[in-house]
Amino acid sequence: MSKIKTAYFCQNCGYESAKWLGKCPSCNQWNTFVEELIQKDNKKTTANDWQSYHAETSSKKTQLLNTVITKDTPRIITADTELNRVLGGGIVPGSIVLVAGEPGIGKSTLFLQMGLQMQEGITLYISGEESEQQIKMRADRLNMQNENFYLLTETSTQTIFQEIKKLKPNLIIVDSIQTLQSPFIESSPGSVSQIRECAAEFQQFAKETHTPVFLIGHITKEGSIAGPKVLEHMVDTVLQFEGDRHYAYRILRTLKNRFGSTAELGIYQMNETGMNPVLNPSEILITQKEDQLSGIAIAATIEGQRPLLIEVQALVTQSVYGTPQRTVTGFDLRRLQLLLAVLEKRGGFHFGVKDVFLNIAGGLKVEDPSIDLAVLCALLSSYEDTPIPHEVCFAGEVGLSGEIRAVNRIEQRIAEAEKLGFQKIIVSKYNQKVLSRQRFNIEIVTLGRVEEVYRHLF
């Protein structure tokens, strides 16, 4: 019998050590090393096992870069327009995609729905968490039928690959990678070495058979993807599924994408029939109100390739206690403090004795600096208790000296505002060079300073 080998793995980053260490040299975390068995079997699946899967296999010999023949591989277009956008235009054959999100956010529902909508080709849904009956109940709730959709409830990768060889599917969905177990590693499912080994086996399978694989992953209580960081490096695309459980809207973001932009964003609405793609999120993110209220401003922002109009809500009240509060939802707290300092210094507004509360409507998190001007105007509106007219929106970054800076792709923002019926948009005067006003029926007001904005509105 061969000697059983063990090693110590950092549960935070996956660093391997021959002996136990108190502090991880890679991520500097304390007491994260756990001993795991790494006895491997020699009967491991080899590359030759996949040669009979498809006629086309990748070459294993060295060759000149100039002699490599490239061809445009057509992407697999799904019925889900938001997923296509986030993946960069559809599923790339042979790609391996990791999807992570909070428990109960709707990862399994979204990808079960996507698999049921794929009418061309065979889809295999591998579940290590639910029984066939549970998945069938969810499919009945989604009210979708697919003759080429197969289920497999199994956690051993060796058994999974034997079933894959018989079925030869065109798309594989694994729910979830943390429940799988490779027989070649003697440690429990969900451990660093098991996650790494199972992901490596699926990566080898995807690349050699040109079959796309979706791995659904768990996240830790800190919000990062559970398992070693190596897992994110191994896959081609990392998607983050986020949103508040109490809101109906879910956001699918790209954290890494080898085949497209990482700035893309997909928005879904969750209801009893599953995840419905939201085609025009601007209409949802702006609440329809009968009467005008102070402290509300509309910002023209851009997420990836998509222009969005979002509502910024601010509340400024007299501070009862000695230290004023600063509470923010969906916006950077430090950025808010910076804008309050600009208003205090350049405009003479005494926010130092006021409590300030800021909220981005709809549960969105916004990082685009062009929202600065709308935040500033919402704060001024609440401070003065004077509503901003319904038909006005804003796009501009605010500098430390109180100037309104130009933002990129201004024409896309203006076109979106015009499409939604706004009559006036306030932008930076430094955007004038790239603006062709003849194209738009909306009134474009160009201003250069915070004081000018205040005089114009109030």
Distances (CA, A) of 8 to 21, 75, 195, 228: 8, 41, 15, 13
Q: How many residues can be counted in the chain?
A: 458
105 labelled as ligand-binding?
A: yes
Distances (CA, A) of 73 to 70, 88, 94, 213, 418: 9, 14, 10, 16, 38
14 labelled as ligand-binding?
A: no
Gap between the Cα atoms of 296 and 281, Å rounded:
18
Q: In 3D, which of 299, 287, 297, 290 has the Cα closest to residue 382?
A: 297
- Decide: 361 and 287 in contact? Cβ < 8 Å: yes
102 labelled as ligand-binding?
A: yes
106 labelled as ligand-binding?
A: yes
35 labelled as ligand-binding?
A: no
Structure token digits, residue 244? 């508040």
Place of tokens 């995609």: 97
Give the alpha-carbon dihedral of 159, 162, 166, 167, to 10 degrees: 60
Gap between the Cα atoms of 361 and 126, Å rounded:
37
Gap between the Cα atoms of 66 and 453, Å rounded:
58
103 labelled as ligand-binding?
A: yes
Structure token digits, residue 239? 């998607």
442 labelled as ligand-binding?
A: no
Numbered residues of the known binding site:
101-108
Numbered residues of the known binding site for ATP:
101-108
